[in-house]
Amino acid sequence: METSAGPQPRRKKDRKLNESNARRLKAQLGASLLAFFFCFPALEMAQSHPVRTASGFVSGVMLSHGIEVFKGIPFAAPPIGKLRWRPPQPPATWQGVRKANKFGPPCMQPVSLRRFGPWTRVFNSELQPSENCLYVNLWTTAKLPSTPRPVMVWIYGGGFTSGAGSVAIYDGAALARKGVVVVNFNYRVGPFGFLAYPGLTDESPHHSSGNYALLDQIAALRWVRKNIAAFGGDPRQVTIFGQSAGASSVWLLMQSPLARGLFERAIMMSGPAVIPFPGITAQGSLTAAEKEGEMFAAKLDAHSLEQLRALAAEKIMRNSEGMTWAPIQDGWVLRPGWHPQREATVINGMVADDIGIGYYGNGPAPPVTLAVYHKRLQTLCGDKLAACIKLYPAKNNQQAAVALRSGLEDRARVSLYQWGERQTQASPQVYTYYFDRKIPWPQHPEYGVFHSSELPYVFDNLRLMNRPWQPVDWRVAREMSSYWTNFAKTGSPNARGLPVWPAFRAGHLAIMQLGARMGPIPLASPAGRQFWMENLTKPLGF
C-alpha cells in the first residue's frame, strides 16, 4: 500500500516557499503602491464630509494621504451687471450641501491657445474665463484637530492681467501634507480689476475707484478669517504668499489699512525691490488713473458708467489687451507713502533671471552684444557709466553677457539688502533669498532660471511636470516647501534637518542661496556692493 510519507516533506517545503514568495510579493506591492502615491498627485477617493461655512454647508473630495480638497466655494457675489466695478459683495446663502468639487472659472483675461515658452500647461489654467469668478479653493488634512493648523493663502501672479487659482502648479496637496491648510482664490484682473473712472469714483462712498483686484483679495482674506476654523485652520495664524504680481499684492496688502489684522506673516517671491516694472507698486494718483479710464471708455464708444456696464465682457477684454493695468493710490485701499504692517514677519526673494537679462518673452532672450551691454549700463548707471564699465569690463560679445549679468545681479541683491534694512524698521523678522536652481530641460537651456521657475519647488509639485528631474531637484523641492511651511508655522523657515537660513541683519552682507546649494552667500562682489550701495538711492520697484 502506497503511503504519502515520502513526498510530504517536499510539499511542506514548497508551501513554505510559496508563502515566503507571497509575503515578499505583498511587501513589494505595498512598497510600489507607497511609491506610487508619493510620486504622483494626490488621487480623488470619495466625497468628503460636509463642512459648515457662513453661507452654507459644502462638501469637497477626499484625496489620498488623508487630504481633503474643496474647490469653487464662492467668497463673494458674482461681480456682474450692476456689481461690475464695485467692491465685492457677500455671497448668497444656500440650502443643503453644496458640492465643492470643481474649480470656478478664472476671471476675465486673454485666452491664448498657444503656450508661452517655459510657462507650459501646468502654469496656465485650462478653464474658460468668466466675470462670475470669485471663488476660493483649499486643501487640508485637518479634521478639526485640538490644535488648529496654520493657514497659507496663495495669491497668484500674472502681471495683473491673468492668472487663476485653478492653475495646476498651485495645487496645495503637498504643502497640506506638511501640516498647514492651503488656500487660494481668484481675483479680478485687467480692466475688470483696475478700471478707474469718474462715474465710479462719484458713486463710491469712499470717493475711490480702481483697485477692485485688491478688494477681492481682502474679501478672500476676510472669508478665511470667518470660515477657516471649520476646515481645521487657525484664523489667527495666516501667512499670505505670492509671486510676481502676487508678490506685489502681498506688499500692497501689508500697507493697506483695509487688510490690517487679516494675516500675520508674508512671503514675496520675485516682487518688490527686485523687478522695477509698472505695477510692482501702486502707480500714480486717482486723478491720473481716471483720465486713462476715460480714454479707455472712449475707445469702447462708451460715454457713461451705465454704457460701460452694459458692454459685453468680451468686448472690454478685446480692447484692453496690451494695456497696463495696475494698483493705484486711491486714498482708500492704498494711501500715498509707505505704511507697512508692523506685525508681519516677512520673506522676500528673487530667482536668478529676475534681473532682466533672462527669458521674459515668447522666444529666446536676445543676445547681449557689446552695443546692448553699453546701452544697458548707460541706463543703469547714468553719469556713473565710466565707473560701471571699470567694475564690469567687457571687450567682446561673450564678455558683455557675463559682465552685464554680474552687474545686474549685484544691483538686484543690493536692492534686496536695502529693502531689508528698511523693512526691519517695521517687521520683527525679515528673511531674504536668491534662488538659482535651473529646471532640467535639455531642449531649452535658453530659459535659464526663468521668472516663476521656483514655483514647482515651493509647492513640491515636480511630479506635475514632465522634466528629467535629478535627485537634487527632489531635495530642493522638499527643503524649499519645508522652509515655506515652517515659516507659516513659527515665523522662521528653520527647523531641524534643514540648512540654517539666517535672518536679515543690518551690516551682515549676505543673502540665503536656495538651490543645489543651500546656505548664505556674499551679497555681491565687494566693489560692486560698494558701488550700488552708494548709487541705489532706494530699493528697486519703489
Q: What pLDDT digit, counting tens, does each position of 409-448 carry? A: 999 999 999 999 999 988 899 999 999 999 999 998 888 8
Residue 322 confidence (pLDDT): 85
Phi-psi region of 426 (alpha: psi -120 to 50; beta: other; left: phi over 0): alpha
**Model confidence band, residue 32 (pLDDT cutoffs 50, 70, 90):** very low
Taking the mean position of all CA atoms in its chain, how far away is CA 128? Answer: 21
pLDDT at 3: 33
Predicted confidence band of residue 36 (pLDDT cuts 50, 70, 90)? very low
pLDDT digits (tens, 9 = 90+) for 228-286: 999 999 999 999 999 999 999 999 999 999 999 999 999 999 998 886 654 444 567 89
Residue percentage of the chain with pLDDT more than 70:
86
Q: What does the mean pLDDT of the chain come to?
A: 88
Tens digits of per-residue pLDDT, 195-204?
A: 999 999 999 9
Q: What pLDDT score was predicted for residue 44?
A: 56
3-state DSSP of 10-69 = HHHHHHHHHHHHHHHHHHHHHHHHHHHHHHCCCCEEEECCCEECCCCEEECEEEHHHCEE
Question: Band of the pLDDT at 9, cuts 50, 70, 90?
Answer: very low
Asked whether the predicted pLDDT for residue 337 surpasses 90, the reply is no
More confident residue, 26 or 446: 446
Alpha carbon distance 265, 254 (integer Å)? 9
What is the model's pLDDT at position 29? 39
Quote the cell numbers at residue 293. Answer: 479710464
pLDDT at 10 over 90: no
- The b/e string for 191-206 (b: 16+ C-beta within 10 A; e otherwise) is bbbbbbbbbbbeeeee
Question: Are the C-beta atoms of 244 and 157 separated by less than 8 Å?
Answer: yes
- Give the span between the Cα atoms of 122 and 211, in whole angstroms: 28
User: b/e string for 233-263 if b means 16 or more Cβ within 10 A?
Assistant: bbeebbbbbbbbbbbbbbbbbbbbebbeebb
C-alpha cell at 419: 529693502
Task: Give the mean pLDDT of 85-106.
Answer: 98
The pLDDT value given to residue 11? 45
Q: pLDDT at position 145, please?
A: 61
* Model pLDDT, residue 299: 96
Residues 6+ apart with CB under 8 A from 351: 270, 434, 435, 436, 449, 450, 451, 452, 453, 454
Non-local CB neighbours of 120 within 8 Å, separated by 6+ positions: 465
Query: Of 88 and 23, which is predicted with more confidence?
Result: 88
pLDDT for the residue numbered 276: 61
**44: how many CB neighbours lie within 10 A of its CB?**
12
Q: Which residues pair with 69 in a beta bridge?
A: 61, 139
Residue 27 has pLDDT above 70, yes or no: no
pTM of the model: 0.89
411 grid coordinates: 544691483
pLDDT per residue as tens digits for the range 498-534: 999 999 999 999 999 999 999 999 999 999 999 999 9
The answer on pLDDT for 5 being more than 70 is no
Partners of 74 in the β-ladder: 135
Residue 95 has pLDDT above 80, yes or no: yes
Write down all domains in the chain, each with its CATH number in brackets: 48-114+121-164+183-343 (3.40.50.1820), 348-535 (3.40.50.1820)
CA 104, distance to chain mean position in Å, is 18
> What pLDDT score was predicted for residue 360?
52
Neighbouring C-alpha atoms within 13 Å toward the C-beta of 26: 6
Q: Given a cut of 60, is residue 218 above it in pLDDT?
A: yes
Chain-centroid distance of CA 194 in Å reads 20
pLDDT the model gives residue 113: 55
Q: What is the pLDDT of residue 26?
A: 43
The per-residue pLDDT for range 302-324, each reduced to its tens digit, is 999 999 999 999 999 999 988 98
The 3-state DSSP class for residue 1 equals: coil
Q: Model confidence at 117, in pLDDT bands (50, 70, 90)?
A: confident
CA distance linking residue 130 with residue 508, whole number of Å: 49
According to the model, what pLDDT value does residue 7 have? 38
Query: Residue 392 — pLDDT band, cuts 50, 70, 90?
Result: very high
Average the pLDDT over 325-345 and give the result: 86
